[in-house]
Structure 1
């Protein structure tokens, strides 16, 4: 019977083994990402940008798969078009909350913020076109005594 005070022999993936396995060794890539968080309605987009060939992934889907309508696609990539960086940077985003319109607006806001971190000289262009401004419009809360936020019960004179 083994002694309970002696440690068990280290396995190939234990903390005692200082030599990494072949599948544990990753290529040393020095790609620099620039982060930006965008918000719209109840949606929050965490966006990463790096120099690349124009790949855009939203929640691990391509832009055209994630935003099927042309209107939402144009809203999403508007900061890249304004700064003439469409096709020159790779964009990766994770978006949570809200619906498709909120997702497109949050993605656009996050891309604009990330572009400002990447190149601060782009800030005046993005600010002038309104991409750095957080859209404050959110759904108005429902009030008690009413059907919806503003819709009241039908008025009866008699």
Structure 2
């Protein structure tokens, strides 16, 4: 049980670092390094999604049910998909807080061990492969757009 508690403690601290470490002075608006990384056009949101896979990994280590892993995946995917939209995506990152959502799911897993199963690692790797494929697709699309623009301008 100590190992599971350790996951929760680390996960909560990690989620807060990513999603709510800082406060905009004079407001109650909190944000973390995930929205800051997301400001790096194109690849910042990819890096943020890569950092968010941590929660899915530990949910798998705990033996999470497939539904929990899918909810975590959807949180990360929504953060990535909307996060790539300039300005709107950064505002979404500040409000959505996918990592805190996933840390709360991990906490619920630790509090309700009856919601665990042992077949979640296969689903985790499948979802991880889908996320990697999406990331590679975004990178490839970005490279293709840049090459087309380059060819049009200087070709």
* Greater gyration radius: 1
The TM-score normalised by the length of structure 1 is: 0.33
The TM-score normalised by the length of structure 2 is: 0.34
Q: Which has the higher strand share?
A: 1
Q: Which has the higher helix share?
A: 2
